[in-house]
């Protein structure tokens, strides 16, 4: 715990300076709070997960502003570009530059002319996220986005590996351990967590992981994804876009997630806690 004079100094610093500087490395920031306990208030320093606006700009045109924990931003931008269908592969990404300002963070990407032309055609049909409605679409028909067919088939031993993988999540969730406020997406191979990324947004954590898998040319036939969140439709769509065969979530699925997973042929396991889980769609059994 910091001494009282250090706490006073922290209060005097600007919020953005304090938060943005710390978050670029750790994903969280020290915030002075007053805790009430044993009938009295005490000033202490608390760790809070960072959330900053990140603008994604393609060939000079802003496409989206996401609220993101500003770690692993290059992977986030790559994963977002792939999972949203803006790029079909990282070969279409020519450059990526990250710029920090007092307003937030801007990621400038130069992409292939064919990818940019397709992006301009569908900019107004980008489907929103759970919690913000369906942003940027003009009719219900525009929500009916065709999902790619998942050709990665779930391996029969993957299901048996889920409990062990879930048990290993906490040890690698550094931001969550410090703040209690982040989601995690992990890549599991042979029951071991090969990579894990955290973010205040579950879809952002997944994009960071998908960016990692693509950048490192990981074979999606080798493993599956475990997430610490509920399974909502955008997670299914992103996984299907990168041909992921199995998504395991700690919390509940939504009806749209189940519908989309079945439509894509992706296996969805939810309520993955302790030694149990529930299979909602099964690529092996055709459920």
Whether residue 147 lies inside any domain: the answer is: no
How far apart (Å, rounded) are the C-alpha atoms in residues 16 and 22? 10
β-bridge mates for residue 41, sequence order: 36
Residues labelled as active-site residues: 132
Q: In this predicted structure, what is the pLDDT of residue 14?
A: 46
User: What's the average model confidence in pLDDT over 154-175?
Assistant: 93
Beta bridge partners of 278: 270
pTM for the model = 0.87
| Residues 15 and 101 placed together within one structural domain of the fold | no
| Residues written for the chain | 287
Residue 18: what pLDDT? Answer: 53
How many Å apart are CA 29 and CA 25, to the nearest integer? 10
Q: Is the pLDDT of residue 59 over 70?
A: yes
pLDDT at 122: 75
What's the domain count of the chain?
A: 3
30: CB partners within 8 A, 6+ apart: 10, 18, 22, 45, 46, 47
107-123 residue pLDDT tens: 999 999 999 999 988 76
Mean pLDDT, to the nearest integer, of 24-28? 78
pLDDT category of residue 1 using cuts at 50, 70 and 90 = very low
Q: Which of 113, 140, 167 is the last residue of a domain?
A: 140
Q: If residue 106 lies in a helix (H) or strand (E), which one and from where to where? A: strand 104-111
Same domain, 133 and 163: no
Task: Kindly state whether residues 187 and 246 are assigned to the same domain.
Answer: yes
Domain around 39: 4-49
User: Does residue 69 lie within any of the structural domains?
Assistant: yes
pLDDT digits (tens, 9 = 90+) for 243-257: 999 999 999 999 999
Strand partners, 58: 61, 109
* 41 shares a domain with 64: no
């Amino acid at each position: 715990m910091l001494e009282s004079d250090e706490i006073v100094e922290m209060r005097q610093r600007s919020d953005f300076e304090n938060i943005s500087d710390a978050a670029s490395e750790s994903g969280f920031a020290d915030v002075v709070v007053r805790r009430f306990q044993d009938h009295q208030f005490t000033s202490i320093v608390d760790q809070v997960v960072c959330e900053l606006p990140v603008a994604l700009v393609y060939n000079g045109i802003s496409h989206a502003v996401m609220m993101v924990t500003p770690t692993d931003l290059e992977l986030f931008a790559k994963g977002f570009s792939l999972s949203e269908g803006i790029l079909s592969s990282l070969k279409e990404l020519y450059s990526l530059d990250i710029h920090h300002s007092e307003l937030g963070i801007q990621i400038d990407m130069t992409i292939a002319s064919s990818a940019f032309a397709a992006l301009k055609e569908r900019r107004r049909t980008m489907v929103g996220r759970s919690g913000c409605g369906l942003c940027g679409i003009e009719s219900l028909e525009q929500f009916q986005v065709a999902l790619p067919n998942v050709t990665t088939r779930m391996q029969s031993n993957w299901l048996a590996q889920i409990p062990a993988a879930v048990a290993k999540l906490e040890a690698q969730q550094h931001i969550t351990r410090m703040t209690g406020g982040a989601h995690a997406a992990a890549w599991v191979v042979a029951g071991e967590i090969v990579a894990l990324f955290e973010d205040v947004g579950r879809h952002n954590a997944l994009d960071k992981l998908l960016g990692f898998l693509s950048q490192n040319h990981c074979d999606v036939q080798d493993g599956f994804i475990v997430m610490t969140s509920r399974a909502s439709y955008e997670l299914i769509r992103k996984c299907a876009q990168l041909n992921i065969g199995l998504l395991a979530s700690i919390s509940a699925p939504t009806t749209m997630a189940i519908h989309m997973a079945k439509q894509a042929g992706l296996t969805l396991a939810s309520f993955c806690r302790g030694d149990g889980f529930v299979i909602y769609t099964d690529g092996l059994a055709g459920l």
